[in-house]
Structure 1
């Protein structure tokens, strides 16, 4: 599985503007099968739960807030590439245009 850190890196979406890329990603995300959705949700929970644990620990350790912020900033670096890679296979290939097409 190739990881993509931006929708612009996905070959099927490179030629599209941002709004169309996001719409295509949303459509592809709706096509994910059950185990893929489950995997993504578990991955999200594995990133989010430590943030809340660190926030709870803030009552005894003020440095925990900095760790919580760090984990929160890492969320897009961990979850989004996996999400883009899983959705990329559900994005239709663009139809190549020939000179006769207008």
Structure 2
């Protein structure tokens, strides 16, 4: 716990916000610690990203005992002007199609 993930240099196609959203889409009851490990981020960074996503209406959560259940708002439009009209559901569907395509 509290371990700093190995850093990455260079550019990537997906933002950390997209990676966290995909992790939550895969398991709406996922723990922050597990998201951090999967995305190679610190738990604090994941908490900040989740707060950003909630603040802008992409995500909500319900407290269930000691854990959270997240709910993605699939109709929320992506923020960048070049993505005008595309929704979170469109993005997740595209990424899921890529994951299910045989290599």
Structure with the higher strand share, 1 or 2 = 2
TM-score by length of 2: 0.28
Structure with the higher helix share, 1 or 2 = 1
* Rg (Cα) greater in structure: 1
Instruction: Name the structure, 1 or 2, with higher relative contact order (CA <8 Å, separation 6+).
Output: 1
TM-score by length of 1: 0.28
